Amino acid sequence: MTPLLLAAHDVVPARSQMGASLGFHIIFACFGVAMPTVLLAAHWIGLRRGNATALLLARRWSKVMAVIFAVGAVSGTVLSYELGLLWPGLMGVYGPAFGIPFSIEAIWFFVEAIFTAIYLYGWRKLPPWLHWWTGVPLVISGVLGALSVVAANSWLNQPGGYTMSHGRITSVDPWSVVFNKATPYEVPHMILAAYMVVGFTMAGVYAWGMVRGRRDAYHRLGFLISFATGAIAAPIQVVFGDTVARVIEQQQPQKFAAMELVAKTHSHVTEWLGGFEYHGHVYFGIGVPSFDSILVGYSPSRKIIGWDSVPVQDRAPLPDLIHLAFNVMVAVGVGLVVLAAWQGWVYWFRRTVPNTKWFLIPATFAGLGAIAAMESGWIVTEVGRQPWVVYHVLRTSDAVTTSGGVPVTLVFTIVIYAVLTGVTVFVPMLMGKRWRASTPPPPDDPDDAPRQPPVPLGSEQPVG
């Protein structure tokens, strides 16, 4: 804990501000990345099957997407101000390398803005399928935008692709800056997370409607399309995340040591679920002997590097926080897979949504869970990289601004983000309220109608 206190008085306000801003922005960003896909899925079902409910959902989602996109644009601009204002030591020296992925991101952002407008206002006059295709650039630019921005972060984790002389960057290889050693795992991990956040959050809206008794075709379809997006991404994410942890153990052993509370380098490392470390002992945790070694090297005798391998000032601060965040992320991920499997099972055999509060209430909060998991993941990455801002190259305390006034801008940004959050939450809520008021209640879900005599398995025919 000492390293945090050593650098505390300069770095902490700046880091809090950056952390708060990124923590807010990443949620908006997720919607920019993944929402077009969910939307186009609904739109496709609507056009392909002539399903008016699906089209109505797509239309309404497109309006919500436009609001979130506008808000995300503002919060992204605030972030770009902040990077320059708070971290002159990073931007001034490493900007030529670190800035490249951001410049590329501007292009994808622009493409996204243009096609958001075309898609949003194309509903009436564009030919239906052409209109559907104008949404496709949104999906592509969302993924490419995520690639560029997350690549900037992964460059901080595994810097490379530049040469320095006399404290200045003299040459840059843009390709190896963008595709650095951490890009191959950080970028897909984040894109999958975005799909989970968006899918489960949107599904939560309809799950809550169903808990409240609005079990009509509209809610059912809205739930299924968005939940399916999250449910497909979740198991892939869990398997992929397992691999990511193993690579972290190779590339950033200090971060991994904090994640798993490994104080001393040794073999037969215990895997701790929960718990706090104090003087080399873990309290209140559930330990599985040797399991950590097995997870990393498929063998109990695999040696894992502990944080005692480096001097105190090079260790990650707050290992308990990192460990807890890591545990939350994994636990939520596994929980969401269970939920997804439940829905998958019911859909496979009965083509419907489980009609029980035991499913619907967790499903309502699945989105919040996914957001918590994603935020925890970012805590692991960012706090785990400390005390470095550029891993093994630049210390955070050397990059932070020397001018005062950071607490002032901290307040300023918190106010901006409070407003933005208000807009993102209340505008869609207002829309939803009005939509409910303006349309007559849709036909009841056939699943809620009195059941017909059971049909012998295999005798049903696909309809339509």
Of residues 108-167, those binding another protein (CB under 8 A): 109-111, 113-118, 120-126, 128, 131, 137, 162
Q: Which stretch binds another protein (CB under 8 A): 27-35, 184-192, 260-268, 348-356?
A: 348-356
From the CA atom positions of the chain, what is the Rg in Å?
24
Question: Does 425 help bind another protein (rule: CB under 8 A)?
Answer: no
Question: Does 103 help bind another protein (rule: CB under 8 A)?
Answer: yes
Question: Does 55 help bind another protein (rule: CB under 8 A)?
Answer: yes
Q: Minimum CB separation from another protein for residue 372, in Å?
A: 27
Question: Does 280 help bind another protein (rule: CB under 8 A)?
Answer: no
Nearer Cβ to another protein (156/374) = 156
Q: Give yes or no for a contact between 366 and 204, defined as CB atoms under 8 angstroms apart.
A: yes
Burial class (CB in 10 A: 0-12, 13-18, 19+), 452: exposed
Nearer Cβ to another protein (9/457) = 457
Question: Does 106 help bind another protein (rule: CB under 8 A)?
Answer: yes
How far apart, in whole angstroms, are the C-alpha atoms of residue 65 and residue 50?
23
Nearer Cβ to another protein (200/218) = 218
Nearer Cβ to another protein (41/172) = 172
Restricting to residues 238-277, which ones interact with another protein according to CB under 8 A?
A: none
Nearer Cβ to another protein (1/106) = 106
Question: Does 456 help bind another protein (rule: CB under 8 A)?
Answer: no
Question: Does 321 help bind another protein (rule: CB under 8 A)?
Answer: no
Restricting to residues 32-51, which ones interact with another protein according to CB under 8 A?
A: 46-47, 49-51
Residue type at 15 in one-letter notation: R
| CA distance from start to end of the chain | 64
- Interface residue with another protein among 171, 243, 267, 313 (CB under 8 A) is 171
Backbone φ and ψ for 333, nearest 5 degrees, come out as -55, -45
Question: Does 457 help bind another protein (rule: CB under 8 A)?
Answer: yes
- Sequence-distant (6+) residues with CB within 8 A of 219 are 206, 209, 210, 445
Question: Does 63 help bind another protein (rule: CB under 8 A)?
Answer: yes
Nearer Cβ to another protein (77/356) = 77
Site string for another protein, 292-311 (x = CB under 8 A): -----xxx-x----------
**Nearest 5 degrees, angle CA 99-CA 244-CA 83?**
20
DSSP characters over 62-113: HHHHHHHHHHHHHHHHHHHHHHHHH-HHHHHHHHHHHHHHHHHHHHHHHHHH
Question: Can you read off the two tokens belonging to residue 52?
Answer: 């008016």
Question: Does 407 help bind another protein (rule: CB under 8 A)?
Answer: no
Nearer Cβ to another protein (112/271) = 112
> Three-state SS for 288?
strand
Question: Does 354 help bind another protein (rule: CB under 8 A)?
Answer: no
- Estimate the crossing angle of helix 357-385 against helix 8-49, to 10 degrees: 140
Residues paired with residue 286 on neighbouring β-strands, in sequence order: 273
